[in-house]
A and B are shown apart, each in its own frame.
Chain A
Amino acid sequence: MPKQEEVKYTKTHEWIFVQGQEATVGLSDHAQHEMGDIVFVELPKPAQAVEKEKPCAVVESVKSAFDIYAPVSGQISALNEEAAKEPALINQSPMDKAWLFKITLSNPDQVKDLMDWNAYQDFVKQATH
């Protein structure tokens, strides 16, 4: 799985790692840390069509619910059932074991709009100060 620096980020705290026509999506390490103990995950439906910046999954911690937005448009091609079965994995391994779903991209150009690691770091700093 990718390093933090190799993926792109959204303002809604998803990470996305693109390989060819397929992208893997998860929750950023910053977001899992802010949320605290994650206890429930609702993944998208298999083969569901998703639209950029529209909610398609929910992650819940003891204290709060957090919508997961599709970073790009496309169709769900894989789901990480392990993360759904054991939501604490998202706290332990948000970039690796606890990826959430994969999308077959319908418009690969959308990836360009997303933040790289440095831009995301700046964004998080601004948001928290």
Chain B
Amino acid sequence: MTTVAAVRKTVLNETMRKAGGKMVDFHGWELPIQFEGILKEHAAVRNSAGIFDVSHMGQILVTGPDSFKLLQKTNANDLRKATVGKGVYSHLLNEKGGLVDDIIAFCLALNRYLVIVNATTSTKDFNWISGKAGKSNVKVENKSDDYSMVAVQGPNVPKMMEIFAPEAVKLPRFGIVEKKIFGEDCFISRTGYTGEDGFEITAPHSVIVDIWNKMMELGKPYNIVPCGLGARDTLRLESGYLLYGADVDDDHTTYESNYGWVVCLDKGDFTAKNILIKQKTEGITRKLTGLTLKGGGVPRTGCKIFKSGKELGELASATYSPTLKKGIGVGYLSEPNLKPGEALEVEIHGKMVPAEVSKVPFHKGTAFTFKL
């Protein structure tokens, strides 16, 4: 006998369908892969404004006198950077230095942290963090079922937000503000997964449809469009953002994923610190490396990567880049010290297509050039 797990629907499901969303099963969540088209949605976010239902994302609340200590111990990044009203992007590490998840930890108040985690890993993350709490004075709660989330992204989004929540427009990158929206306690953070300036709104289910509709209304002058998972993926890959489960997982470390800037070795003890120190001093044997196709074709996950005929690895994530109008991808290569411009080949449909090592991010949007 087999049992099929029911596909979970976000509160915005009906709204997505009515807006023309082409729904797919995304790791057990029914979400739109696209509306009118990935290229149109991608361009809207790069040039003006787009809105995404990201309600599948998880929320873990860590509170109490030892909350800082617990997060500092389980994370590669330094939680001291997350001062009140600010968040920090970090890697939650296992004992081998691999990633339990990649997360953003926001400090809402002293001894009160909101951790935004990936959908597929929220239970695993919750178990991991609670497991590390031991007898310390801290409360870890998985709030993932209590919140919905929308991401409003693009260079014109601050102009829309000026009307809706002027305090949010004053936020720095990774800033967060708590705000009553339609009578409910919500969070607005200046974060996103697109490489453009913008905000993510975390809200109780009861008000998320109203928030979505309000954003669509405020975005009208900027031709805001609803965007799906397709555009979310092309936007994040151009920006060099990691996709958990594809680019990183329990078996790849922060250094191997080429996110060494996340590791703060000078912050005191944390999980797997000794392993990361060893990798930093002795070097790594594989590194997540960016490449750009020089020939035509669309690289895909799993395509093999060669250098002068020698196989070095395969693509973890790859796509056609709508901004650069060519194939891009990242993959773990067994030669970790390649320089941008070095020649590679990618095997696509049995043919060797010329490529070269690329700097990551492939494209820097307004999130990278952000100034208050």
Contact = CB atoms under 8 A, between A and B. Distances in A.
Interface in A26-63: 36-37, 39-40, 42, 58, 60-63
Give the secondary structure class of A's interface: strand
Given A62-B234, A62-B320, A36 B34 contact: yes
Nearest to A58: B349
A81 B325 CA distance: 18
B297 A62 contact: no
Contacts of B319: 62
Contacts of A63: 33, 38, 230
Contacts of B298: 39-40, 60, 62, 65
Nearest to B22: A36
A36 B21 CA distance: 13
B296 A40 contact: yes
B297 A37 contact: no
A36 B34 CA distance: 9
B322 interface: yes
A60 B296 CA distance: 11
Contacts of A60: 297-298, 320
Contacts of B234: 62
Contacts of A61: 38
Contact of A37 (B38, B300, B349): B38
A65 B349 contact: yes
Given A58-B349, A62-B298, 18 more contacts: A36-B37, A36-B230, A37-B37, A37-B38, A37-B39, A39-B298, A40-B297, A42-B296, A60-B298, A60-B320, A61-B38, A62-B38, A62-B39, A62-B230, A62-B320, A63-B33, A65-B298, A65-B349
6 contacts: A39-B39, A58-B349, A60-B320, A62-B322, A63-B33, A65-B349
